[in-house]
């Protein structure tokens, strides 16, 4: 998008002063197709190759995994596109627009959940970038121990935190660069490792059961689009009100899903060709993929790996700062992003230098927070579908306005759906989550050791339940909100 020329200088070089406020008409710019750049850059990470091994780990065939992957990626990112539509309608961050459904202060609960998810994701991506750099340097004979990890962490964290603090214009410019560089180098990577694919071995992988297929589908939906729905309107809010709604949905979904679909299929072919590679990916996904390359291409590979992960983490740290503000913390946006960056660094230090294993805690994190985010997404999507007018922007910031202070029914629905969802998921690799799955036995699904235990049914159940209930019960409340009188304009700062 065009840089902000306000105050006589290029906006890309100055700290963004907008926080959770509504973007003024003078600052709205660009077209929906420019949403392609940040979303493609955030999802072109070679981690997408690693998801091939994650999916096959459920004991399903290549064709089942490919079906689950394409369906999970496309559908989950379509959800992002629909949430992004709210950004164009209201020109405020996602977790501020969510106040229309939950009430101004009632929305603090989903805002906190959103903050936890985005901080968790940016930490995961920083961990992967640090481990990948150390593995590649070890392959080159340049070290790879503690010192290398420390340097990698400092460089990666600096890129992420600086972009998050500077804000929208720098992020949009950075993501355009990351898109081009990572796309070219990723295609080259796939070309280099194509000879490692053994189709006879891949095609011989036996098919799995319906519960196994469902588990892979939910993991892929949660790891891709459902991990972004709570931030989907944070970038479309800068678009003019006249921007095409179909364009917002289409370009968000297309930019997000294009790279993951290609990378996932390639990852399935690689992991399916080598059980040893598939096992190695569970410990260090990107580092394991580096071992397939000729030595001379390892440096370009670490560049593409790190930039791809940084692209995702940059969007996360920006949105996590906005979610923290939407939760009621009174700080400038850049300060909130800086706090999240420090938490990200602390989490990365723990995982890289003290924790053991990656895949188990990662899956536990995805599924556990995936349940309440899916519930929130269902409520938010239904609320968006019911609305026929743009948001009353002033009332998004006023508990006495048309959206109310705490709307107890949606808040209670979110809590109830989360409780039901957690009762339908398990994660045997993370002991601290052993309490989950308490409904699998009573509902005749075999209990925590049954065949449905790994299917993570709680995520789609929470999503569909909240969407259906809100669509049926929320119409009258939305019509009453839209019929309320127009109030004074919202402050722009």
| Tokens, residue 459 | 């995520």
| 143 pLDDT higher than 80 | no
C-alpha distance from residue 63 to each of 168, 269, 333 (Å): 40, 10, 45
Query: In order of start, what are the domains of the chain with their CATH numbers?
Result: 25-483 (1.10.4160.10)
Predicted pLDDT of residue 358 = 61
**Alpha helices for 229-358 (secondary structure H):** 233-236, 245-273, 275-281, 285-290, 298-326, 333-353
| 6 pLDDT higher than 50 | no
Predicted pLDDT of residue 296 = 85
Question: What is the rounded radius of gyration, in angstroms, for the C-alpha atoms of the chain?
Answer: 22
CA–CA gap between residue 214 and residue 155 (Å, rounded): 39
**What three-state secondary structure class fits 118?**
helix
| 14 pLDDT higher than 50 | yes
CA–CA gap between residue 440 and residue 417 (Å, rounded): 15
User: pLDDT tens across 253-311, in order?
Assistant: 999 999 999 999 999 999 999 998 888 887 778 778 888 888 888 888 888 888 888 88
Average pLDDT over residues 2-26: 65
Predicted pLDDT of residue 387 = 94
**Whole-prediction pTM:** 0.88
Nearest to 268 by CA among 74, 71, 62: 62
Chain-centroid distance of CA 237 in Å reads: 18
| 135 pLDDT higher than 70 | yes
Hey, CA dihedral for 164, 167, 172, 176, is it positive or negative?
negative
CA–CA gap between residue 287 and residue 146 (Å, rounded): 15
User: pLDDT tens across 422-470, in order?
Assistant: 999 987 766 778 899 999 999 999 999 999 998 999 999 999 999 999 9
Predicted pLDDT of residue 458 = 95
CA–CA gap between residue 457 and residue 450 (Å, rounded): 13
Percentage of residues in the chain having pLDDT higher than 70: 93
Task: Summarize the chain as % helix, strand, coil (round to 5).
Answer: 70, 0, 30
> Are residues 251 and 79 in contact, defined by beta-carbon separation less than 8 angstroms?
no
| 9 pLDDT higher than 50 | no
Roughly how many angstroms between the first and final C-alpha of the chain, as a whole number? 22
């Amino acid at each position: 998008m065009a840089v902000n020329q306000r105050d006589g200088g290029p906006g890309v070089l100055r700290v963004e002063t907008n926080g959770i406020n509504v973007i003024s008409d003078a600052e709205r710019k660009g077209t929906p197709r420019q949403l392609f750049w940040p979303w493609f850059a955030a999802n072109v990470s070679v981690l997408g190759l690693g998801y091939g091994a994650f999916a096959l780990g459920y004991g399903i065939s290549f064709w089942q995994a490919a079906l689950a992957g394409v369906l999970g990626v496309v559908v989950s990112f379509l959800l992002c596109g629909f949430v992004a539509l709210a950004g164009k309608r209201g020109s405020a961050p996602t977790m501020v627009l969510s106040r229309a459904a939950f009430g101004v202060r009632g929305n603090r609960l989903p805002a906190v959940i959103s903050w936890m998810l985005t901080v968790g994701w940016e930490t995961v991506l920083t961990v992967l970038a640090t481990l990948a750099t150390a593995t590649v340097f070890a392959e080159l004979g340049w070290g790879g121990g503690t010192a290398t990890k420390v340097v990698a962490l400092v460089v990666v964290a600096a890129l992420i935190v600086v972009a998050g603090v500077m804000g929208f214009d720098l992020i949009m410019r950075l993501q355009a660069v990351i898109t081009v560089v990572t796309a070219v180098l990723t295609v080259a990577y796939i070309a280099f490792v194509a000879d490692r694919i053994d189709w006879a071995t891949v095609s011989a992988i036996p098919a799995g059961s319906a519960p196994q297929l469902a588990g892979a589908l939910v993991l892929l939906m949660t790891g891709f689009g459902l991990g972004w729905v709570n931030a989907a309107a944070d970038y479309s809010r800068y678009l003019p009100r006249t921007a095409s709604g179909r364009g917002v949905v289409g370009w968000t979904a297309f930019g997000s899903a294009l790279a993951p679909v290609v990378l996932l299929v390639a990852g399935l072919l690689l992991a399916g060709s080598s059980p040893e590679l598939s096992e190695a990916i569970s410990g260090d996904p990107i580092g394991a993929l580096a071992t397939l390359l000729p030595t001379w291409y390892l440096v370009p590979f670490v560049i593409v790996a790190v930039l791809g992960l940084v692209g995702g983490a940059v969007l996360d740290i920006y949105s996590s700062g906005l979610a923290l503000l939407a939760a009621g913390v009174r700080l400038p946006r850049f300060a909130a992003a800086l706090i999240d960056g420090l938490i990200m660094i602390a989490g990365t230090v723990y995982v890289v230098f003290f924790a053991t294993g990656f895949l188990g805690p990662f899956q536990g994190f995805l599924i556990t927070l995936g349940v309440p985010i899916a519930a929130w997404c269902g409520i938010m999507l239904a609320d968006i579908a019911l609305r026929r007018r743009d948001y009353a922007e002033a009332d998004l910031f006023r508990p006495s306005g048309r959206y109310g202070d705490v709307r107890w029914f949606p808040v209670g629905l979110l809590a109830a759906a989360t409780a039901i969802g957690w009762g339908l998921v398990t994660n045997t690799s993370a002991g601290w989550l052993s309490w989950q799955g308490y409904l699998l036995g009573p509902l005749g699904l075999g209990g925590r050791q049954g065949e449905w235990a790994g299917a993570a049914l709680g995520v789609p159940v929470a999503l569909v339940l909240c969407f259906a209930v809100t669509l049926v019960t929320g119409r009258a409340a939305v019509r009453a909100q839209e019929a309320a009188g127009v109030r004074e304009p919202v402050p722009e700062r």
